[in-house]
Amino acid sequence: MKLVIGITGSTGVIYGVRILEVLKKCNIQTHVVITEWAKKCLAMETDYTIEQLKSLATEYSDDTNMASGISSGTFKHDGMIVIPCSMKTLSAVANGYDETLVARAAGVTIKEMRKLILVTRETPLSAIHLENMLKLARLGVVMMPPVPGFYTKPKSIDEIVDFAVGKCLDIFDIDHGLYKRWGS
């Protein structure tokens, strides 16, 4: 399996870090793209360096590299997760504005009818945000705000992050033990 992972500049960059850690452990190939604002959030919100983050991926492309393989439908992959997904990126994808590699790769994922998950980060949501989400959901894009499942009785931020990451992995049928399932 090969997944494209976009990490954008919305608070919650730890979700992107964690999904790359888990996918690496699962031996899933990843091609990661990190926006400039995600790099800033990485420095503000975590102790990770950009080089450490890149080392978690199989491949890396700069968000300005529109010649990257993932900008083409001929690049074979199983789907894409934008985690976290800023409202700016959501808007770009919803409106076909492919100015960045993350937005272009997401648009290609849609046109090639592959799975796309957007882990949207913003609160409260405006009518514009909701309309963009609805537009994409009608195309089959999975909108997955990282809402915690408190029935798992999380004891730490890490457990809350793992729940959201695990929900993304479930969409791709990737086995994990990141959270206790309901009824188990």
Query: What distance in Å separates the CA atoms of residue 87 and residue 128, rounded to the nearest whole number?
Result: 9
- What digits encode the pLDDT tens for the residues 100-119? 999 999 999 999 999 999 99
> Which pair of tokens denotes residue 113?
């009818």
Question: Helix 87-94 crosses helix 101-111 at what angle (to 10 degrees)?
Answer: 40
Strand duo 2-7 + 79-85: pairing: parallel
Answer whether residue 39 shows pLDDT above 90: yes
What pLDDT does residue 184 have? 63
Overall average pLDDT of the 162-175 stretch: 97
Q: Please provide the average confidence, as pLDDT, over all residues in the chain.
A: 96
Q: Pull the structure tokens for residue 101.
A: 């590699």
Half-sphere exposure of residue 70: CA atoms within 13 angstroms, side-chain side: 33
| First and final C-alpha spacing in the chain | 28
